[in-house]
Every structure is written in C-alpha cells, then in structure tokens.
Amino acid sequence: MSNKCVVLGVTGGIAAYKSLDIVSTLVKQDIDVRVIMTKAATEFVTPLSFQSLSKNQVIVDMFEEPKSWEIQHISLAQRADLMLIAPATANVIGKVANGIADDMLSTTIMATKAPVVFALAMNTNMYENKIVQNNIDKLKNFGYEFIEPASGRLACGDIGKGKLEKVDIICEEILSRLYEKKDLVGKKVLITAGPTISPIDPVRYITNNSSGKMGYAIAKEARDRGAEVTLISGPSSLEAPIGINFIRVKTNEEMFKAVLSKFNDSDIVVKSAAVADYKAKNYSTEKIKKGDGGLNLEFIRDNDILKNLGERKKEQILVGFAAESNNLLDNAAEKLRKKNLDYIVANDITARDTGFASDFNKVYIIDAEGNTKGLDKMTKREVARELFDLINERR
C-alpha cells in the first residue's frame, strides 16, 4: 500500500491525542498520511507531533503561505485515496452536512471525490441530540461513511456512547477499505476457525491445540477482497474481526449446525478449524470425583463436518486443512480425495517456528487435479492471500 494516501482530519475534541496513534499505525503500513488540523484541535495536540510521526507538513491555517505553488485543499483532495476525520465532532458533522466550508478541513472534504470516513467522538448527550443524528443520517444518504463511537466513561465523566472507537479497529477498517485486491466482491465466503471442545463433565473437556489465527487471517483477507464473510469460530482469545458475520460456537455439534445453516448460500468454504474428532460416549452431568486409581473414559467418533460438506457440495469451492506430523503430502492428498475437496492446505505441526499459536506458517496447497504449490515460511495473512490468489486464478 506504499502508494496509498490517507488525509487525516483532526478536529477539536479530547480524543485528538489518539489520532497520533492512528498516524503511527498507518505509517507503519507504508501509508502516506497527510494531516489537516482545525485550530481547535491544536489546543489539544501540537501540529509538530503529527508532523514528526507523518513526516509531512501539517496544515492548519487555510491562508498560510504554501510551501509549493499549489492550491492546498485542492491538492490534498485530489491526492487522497481516502479521507478519515478522527475525531469527528458534532461541529464538523454539522458543517459538512449543511455545506459550510470555512476552514482547510471542511473545504478539503467538500473538494474531494475520495471516500470520506467520520470516526465519531463526542459527549453522549451531543451524540444522541436529534440535530446531530439528523446530520449523520443526512451525510450517510450522501454516501459519507461512519465509524460509530464506543461506549464507556467519557472525559467529562459521563458514561455512555461517545468514545472514539479503538485505534486498532479504526485502522483495520481504513486498511480494509484501501486494500487493492477486490476480486471477491459479490461472493459469500464461509470460514471456520479455532478448536472445538468435547465435554466430559461440567468442568472437564478435551480439545485441540488451535489458536484460530489461521482462520481469522483467512476471514480478514476475504473481507478485504470484498467478500461477504461469515466466520464460525470455536473458543479463541482473538477478537472478532470487524465487518464480518461472526458466530461463536464450542462443540463439534454446534459448529456442524452453524456450518450447515450457511453452506448452501456460500460460494467458497474454508474449513480451517481444528474440530474435535471424538467425544465422550457417556457425558457425566455431575463432576467426576477423583479416586485413588486411574480413570477410564470411552470416546466415540463425532461428526466429520468436512466429509459431510464434500458430499453435499454443488457449486461451492471447498477448502480443507491437514495438520500432519508425518507423511505430510501423502496424508493431505488422501484427505483431499476422500472428502471431495477442491483444495487442501497442508502444514507440518512438528515445526517449531510455525503452526499452532504462531503468526507464521509454512504450507503446501494441493488442488483436486494434484497440483501442489509449496509456500515458504510467511505470515498467516500472507498464506491466506496466496490461497485466494490460487482460487481466483483457477476459478
């Protein structure tokens, strides 16, 4: 994204200091960030702080002598791939909604044809005011986009909706909008992630060693490429990705039902979850008390979700995962054949620096014709990108 430009408008709210983190995060993603501050914003944070982080001149005064011969609000309006107003106060919302352009920021917003996103932040009562809500609705009807405020304790001491959304969520949404590949627009992608659990008694269960990182990375990649994404996740410490239909489950049976409810309506299905293959034959409704000797438990096979989908599929592209400790390619190819898959992603779980809980993976992608593509160690997001590239090439 090194050629992408975000024009960040900072207005006069207490949350203005959080915009420094927005600049820092976007710059680390090679985004060219140009900052426009209202005069009120400079009462909270200095322009020098933004200039130091963005490595670009910060504009405040509309009538300041330009550093080069260009009309600055037109220049920035044309350069922007996206404009982000954060924090966006009731004042700037009201001005734009009513066509007032009396400073550099409001003038640039009026002049740009790039998408404009307002990240709202204000007092709860102001946010709920009918005039403000009417202005927001008016701008939405004009095609402007909004990141709603979060709830919590505000700087004024009130508790309610009005806090600027978390910086990482704002930046994730902006980076998603800027993502260059949009080849999944109009497609519905269903993804499973994480482990499932098989209860033994009210306090004990067996599970698989999965963090969910691979499935969540696949979901984000599909979302950023324009797909309508449903992510069905077993227990995981990861936060639900924004802009995704998120369904949390625990057991094999819960995941099976959730997947079946979405399967027929999906174009691409990626089963990256580490589903528990066995469950206790006899679940104890009471905690099993510790005795002097050992404990013998009998387990039986649970639903084979992937095989069931392979038998049901019609036009769907079905992708499975194979986590193996030996005979990686042979075992993965056999699984692809038995379960009627279009692709299988095979990874070696014995590798120390990739796989479970790691941010990295080293995999092979095998298709139904037997073609195999090996991927060297890369981030799980990069693996997801390679997977969808392959699917789109051969679709």
335 is in an annotated binding site: yes
Q: pLDDT digits over 290-320, tens only?
A: 888 899 999 999 999 999 999 999 999 999 9
Q: Encode pLDDT of 77-97 as tens digits.
A: 999 999 999 999 999 999 999
Any residues with CB less than 8 A from the CB of 107 and at least 6 apart, and which? 62, 73, 101
The model carries a pTM of: 0.88
Render pLDDT for 185-206 as a digit per residue (tens, 0 to 9).
999 999 999 999 999 999 999 9
Query: Annotated binding residue at 307?
Result: no
Q: Which helix (H) or strand (E) holds 334?
A: helix 328-338
pLDDT in tens, 355-377: 778 899 999 999 999 999 999 99
- Rounded to whole angstroms, what are the CA distances from 121 to 74, 95, 103, 129, 149? 27, 16, 20, 13, 6
What CA–CA distance (Å, rounded) separates 277 from 306?
11
Q: How would residue 69 be classed by pLDDT, with cut points 50, 70 and 90?
A: very low
- Single-letter code of the amino acid located at 125: N
Instruction: From 272, 275, 394, select the one nearest 342 (Cα to Cα).
Output: 394
Nearest to 194 by CA among 303, 353, 356, 304: 356
Collapsing DSSP to helix, strand or coil, 379 comes out as: strand
Residues 162 and 122: beta-carbon distance below 8 Å: yes
In angstroms, rounded to a whole number, what is the distance separating the alpha carbons of residues 91 and 88? 8
- pLDDT given at position 65: 55
Catalytic residue among 48, 71, 131, 156: 156
**Residues 282 and 228 sit within 8 Å (Cβ to Cβ):** no
Provide the pLDDT for residue 66.
55
Buried b (16+ CB within 10 A) or exposed e, 28-41: eeebbbbbbbbebb
Cα-based distances in Å from 307 to 50, 141, 248, 312, 339: 54, 46, 22, 9, 5
Kind of pairing, strands 299-301 and 278-280? antiparallel
Domain with CATH 3.40.50.10300 in the chain: 188-394
Domain(s) of CATH 3.40.50.1950: residues in the chain: 5-178
- Spell out the CATH class of 5-178: alpha beta
182 marked ligand binding residue? no
| Model confidence at 71: pLDDT above 50 | yes
Class of the CATH-defined domain 188-394: alpha beta
Question: Do residues 215 and 191 make contact, with C-beta atoms less than 8 angstroms apart?
Answer: yes
- 68 has pLDDT over 60: no
Task: Answer yes or no: is 339 a known binding residue.
Answer: yes
287 is in an annotated binding site: yes
Positive or negative torsion for Cα 155, 157, 158, 160: positive
Question: Can you name the residues that pair with 204 across neighbouring β-strands?
Answer: 201
Whether 5 is a known active-site residue: answer no
Please state, for a pLDDT cut of 70, what percent of the chain lies above it. Answer: 96
The 10s digit of each residue's pLDDT in 44-59 is: 999 999 999 999 999 9
Q: To the nearest 10°, the Cα dihedral for 266, 271, 275, 281? A: 50
For the segment 279-284, the average pLDDT, to the nearest whole number, is 95
Looking at residue 21, what is its pLDDT? Answer: 98
- Taking the C-alpha atoms of residue 63 and residue 58, their distance in angstroms, rounded to an integer, is 13
**231, 244 contact by CB (below 8 A):** yes
- How far apart CA 8 and CA 37 sit, in angstroms, is 8
